[in-house]
Each structure stands twice: as structure tokens, then as C-alpha cells.
Amino acid sequence: MAKPCIIVFGNEKGGTGKSTICMHIAMYFLREGAAVGTIDVDARQGTLTRYVSNRLIFIKEKQTSLAVPKHFSVHKSGRENLKSAEQEEQENFVSALQQLEGYDFILIDTPGNDVFLSRLAHSYADTIITPLNDSFVDLDMLVRADGNNLSPSLYSEMVWEQRKVRMAREKRSIDWIVMRNRLTNLYSHNRGKVEEVLSALAKRIGFRLATGFNERVIFRELFVSGLTLLDFEAINRELTISHVAAKQELRDLIGMINAK
């Protein structure tokens, strides 16, 4: 049986759009007829878990039928001993993966900080998608600027480590896609600079750069009802020009995923 394609949404910086984009990509593949599982290893915050449960509430209240991914949330262990806590988290994570055996896609949402469960999830990724806000502060998670010298920083080093872990465990590599999110025209000079730095770094750090998503109010509105832009047709809601453009940005990103 073909293994599921595992996509991990990660960035050690909070609030960059990981959960929102994870839910949108899950819905895209579900609408394509694929079997999709989602795992929230950011269970403490639980954004993805709440996104899915808001969707279930919407479906019940509106008596409508919308696809829902098979969802798991993996919690941080309460055990005091570090080794034993990590062991429990690993068992629970692997158990969720095993329950999704036979699925086409497993999408994993991770927290915006460096914790064991996040590292573990990254080490199982076929593809990592890293959204970042279009600023030099966000860029700092990927690359450290020391005078004219640029070197990989915290998150890039973590991805590098997990690439080695995966190679040792499964003899498989990890594809890494970095995308800018919430792009605006307000700071177009800054935008050009960030793009320049990212393009220059892509090869060296080992990621592919996606075009990214513009800032769109709609994304903030959808969470409460558990909906995505891909559900509008099914619920007879009209798409504006901005929504259509956002869907195209999503398709462009999905087009970059090397699904088996």
C-alpha cells in the first residue's frame, strides 16, 4: 500500500498562518476526493482542532454536508521525567499516524515554538510548508545576519536536524517549501528586499520559495464557522474577486507539493 504523503506546517514563529493554510490544503485535497487525516500537535493552543470542531458545529447547525478530515490531536505529556514524557508523546504521535495508514494525505499542524512534538512531527514530513510574515523579523528564524554574512538560524537548523533524522530512519529526504503570507503593498520596498534575501538563500538553506498569499480579511472570518474558501460553492456563498485570487494563490502553493 502507498504511504500517505505527510505535510507538516511549521515555523518557530507564532501567528504566521500555519493552521489556516493547513486547513485550506486539507479541504483542497478532500474536495479532490482524497482521504485526508489531520493531526494537531499544537494541542495546547488547539487552533486546528477548534477549526475542525467549528466545522462540525456548522455542519450540524446548517444541516449541510461538507467533507471533514479525520482529525487527531496529540497532547503534551504531563509526565515529569523528560525521557518518559517524550516517550509518551512519541507513542501517541505514532499511534495517530498508524490510525491514518492507508490515507492519501496526513497534514500536521505544529506550534510556533521549539518543542519535542514539533521536532518529531518534522522528522516524518515528506514536505514542510513554512509560512512567514513578510518582515525581517520573521526572516530571522531562517537566517542569521552577521554583518554581510548570512548563516542558517534556529528553525533552519532544526529542519536540517530533522532531515538527518528522517534520512537515518527511512532513507528519505524532506522537501521544504517556504512561503510568504499576508503580503501587502504597503511596504513594497521591504517586500522586495525580503524576496531578494529569500531567493538568494533558498538553495543554500535547502528550501523552495513559493509565491505566497496576500493579506485577505476573509481568512480571519472563516475560522469561527470552520469554513475555507473552498466551501463557498457548496454553501452557495458568492466568491468576490479577492476570494478567487486567494484560491488561485492556494492552488499555486499546492501545485508545488510533490505528492506521490
Ligand X SMILES: Nc1ncnc2c1ncn2[C@@H]1O[C@H](COP(=O)(O)OP(=O)(O)OP(=O)(O)O)[C@@H](O)[C@H]1O
Our CB check for Mg ion shows the closer of 47 and 130 to be: 47
Shortest Å distance, C-beta 5 to Mg ion: 21
**Beta carbons of 181 and 124 less than 8 angstroms apart:** no
Region 15-44 residues binding ligand X, contact defined as CB under 6 A? 15-20, 42
CA atoms within a 13 Å half-sphere pointing along the CA-CB vector of 247? 14
> Which position among 28, 29, 219, 232 is part of the footprint of ligand X (CB under 6 A)?
219
Q: Is 252 in the site for ligand X (CB under 6 A)?
A: no
To ligand X, the closest distance from the beta carbon of 175 in angstroms equals 20
**Interface pick for ligand X out of 24, 166, 180, 182 (rule CB under 6 A):** 182
Residues 36-95 that bind ligand X (CB under 6 A): 42, 45, 47
CA distance 2 to 123: 19
Q: How far is the CB of 41 from Mg ion (least distance, A)?
A: 10
Q: Quick one: angle between helices 241-255 and 18-31, nearest 10?
A: 80
Minimal distance, residue 47 CB to Mg ion, in Å: 4
Which listed residue (14, 94, 161, 248) binds ligand X by CB under 6 A?
Answer: 14
What does 176 bind: Mg ion, ligand X, none (CB cut-off 5 to 8 Å by kind)?
none
Which one of 13, 18, 122, 182 is in contact with Mg ion (CB under 5 A)? 18
Nearest to 217 by CA among 179, 182, 253: 182
Whether 105 and 23 have beta carbons less than 8 Å apart is answered as no
Q: How many amino acids of this chain bind Mg ion (CB under 5 A)?
A: 3
C-alpha cell at 140: 530571522
Position 223 contacts ligand X (CB under 6 A): yes
User: Is the Cβ of residue 6 or residue 25 nearer to ligand X in the bound state?
Assistant: 25
Size of the site for ligand X (CB under 6 A): 20
Which 226-245 positions form the footprint of Mg ion (CB under 5 A)?
Answer: none
Q: How far is the CB of 141 from ligand X (least distance, A)?
A: 11
CB of 95 to Mg ion, least distance (A): 22
Nearest CA to 124 among 106, 142, 100, 103?
106
Q: What residue is closest to ligand X based on CB?
A: 112
Query: Of residues 210, 213, 228, 232, which one binds ligand X by CB under 6 A?
Result: 213
Judged by the rule CB under 6 A, the positions of this chain that interact with ligand X are 14-20, 42, 45, 47, 111-112, 181-182, 213, 215-216, 219-220, 223
Residues binding Mg ion (CB under 5 A): 18-19, 47
